[in-house]
Amino acid sequence: MSAEGLTFESAQRELEAIVERLERGEASLDEAIALWERGEELLRFCLERLDTAQGRIEELAKRAQAAPPLADPPATA
């Protein structure tokens, strides 16, 4: 599966499945190496997505701090 169309959640699920498979020790050496390589790709993808999300959150927090406070609504009698 390429990174195109891959979501953080699907990458995380695939990575978890790879880890479980490697931990069970049922893969041949060649298959284990291929799984490890795919796991590294998925890990990099997930870390990049998390870094991007963190940057967006920090930017939103800065904007929120810089915004003027909201005025209280007028009191009704």
At 26, which CATH number? 1.10.287
18, 45 in Cβ contact below 8 A? no
Total count of domains within the chain: 1
In total, the chain counts a number of residues equal to 77
Q: What pLDDT score was predicted for residue 77?
A: 63
Query: Distance (Å, rounded) from C-alpha 2 to C-alpha 62?
Result: 34
Q: What pLDDT score was predicted for residue 50?
A: 97
Tens of pLDDT along 17-45?
A: 999 999 999 899 999 999 999 999 999 99
Model confidence, pTM = 0.76
Is 28 within the bounds of a domain? yes
Tell me which residue range forms the domain holding 15.
8-66
Query: Distance (Å, rounded) from C-alpha 49 to C-alpha 42?
Result: 11
Is 76 within the bounds of a domain? no
